Amino acid sequence: MSAAQRHHMRKCGSNSMRHKNLIIVRAGQKSLHPAWRNGAEPTFDILVAAYDAAAMANDTESVRHELFPGAKVAGWNSILRDRPELLERYERIAFVDDDIAADAATFNRCFEVGERYGLHIWQPALSPDSYITYAASLQNPQFELRFCNYVEMMCPFFQAAALKRVAPLFSLGFESGIDLIWCSIANEDGGACAVVDECVVKHTRPVGRQKSQNGFVDRRYETDIYACLDQFGMRWPSWVVTEAISHNDKPVKSKLLLSLAAMFPLSTLAAAPPGTRRYRLKSALDYIRHQTTRPPYFGADISTRLADY
């Protein structure tokens, strides 16, 4: 890090921010984050951790900019290494990709739901017209939220204490796969993970668009994923919902009802972005199969293994 960057960080210290929630975005030139403050008074600050100097701009009371070139997860590690006070200053911190379309009301509510339910790690649901990896991430309008064993790295929200616990994952050199690990750490701590169906964002770009930027040249995402899983003695955890909360605040625990609800993504096929309908169908069928036939899987002794690195 250059002397100019360190000076900028000191100048824009934590005292300049005014909310208890923080969004960190690894931003490029076409980042959508300027719109995240529209539509309502935000209850969050934004740290624009730019990987491209073109994303830098003037700071405001609740938005500041710092330059962190390089890959996404490596950037997260640099931020928390260089700014450990963020974990003390804020109660909840989200890492949101710069191709997520959302407004302030949606993010406000997502932070609020996390606080209300004492969630450790959670994410907003994706709109039907989003680019997706997992059908389980799509909004199910039957529910307010669904408790589960997986939260993906596209838009994760963390209780600050939970983020502090999982942050060592960022230093292991993996740019993919750590999101398959962090819910196991939350589970060991007695914490819950969830998808918040009440809060819906849109993933606007195809998955993998930033592969080369994140170091995946002559290697696949699966290379990091399997190396990460092997390091923690885990198998790939299927995304399984353990319980849902309906809009009248009633819990839904029935395996049958949750399996029936897993069929909802099939109704979103027509809304899938061009060229992704076949993948959407496969992903939806996988979700139904996993929800119907598999128990939620978590790794064992993950925190102990992580402490060894």
Residues, the chain, total?
309
Structurally, how many domains does the chain consist of?
1
The closest of 231, 294, 297, 308 to 259, measured between CA atoms, is 294
CATH of residue 203: 3.90.550.40
Strand, coil or helix: 150 = coil
Q: How far apart are CA 16 and CA 59, in angstroms?
A: 10
Residue 255 lies in domain: 3-307
pTM over 0.85: yes
Query: For the segment 96-124, what is each residue's pLDDT rounded down to a tens digit?
Result: 999 999 999 999 999 999 999 999 999 99
Report pLDDT for 239: 98
From residue 73, alpha-carbon distances to 21, 43, 67, 206, 213 in Å are 20, 25, 14, 19, 11
Q: How far apart are CA 111 and CA 103, in angstroms?
A: 13
From residue 43, alpha-carbon distances to 16, 70, 107, 109, 246 in Å are 15, 29, 8, 9, 25
Q: How far apart are CA 294 and CA 301, in angstroms?
A: 21
Stretch (H or E) spanning 260: helix 255-261
Query: For the segment 279-300, what is each residue's pLDDT rounded down to a tens digit?
Result: 999 999 999 999 999 999 999 9
Below-70 pLDDT ranges, the chain: 1-17, 208-219, 221
94 with 27: CB under 8 angstroms? Answer: no
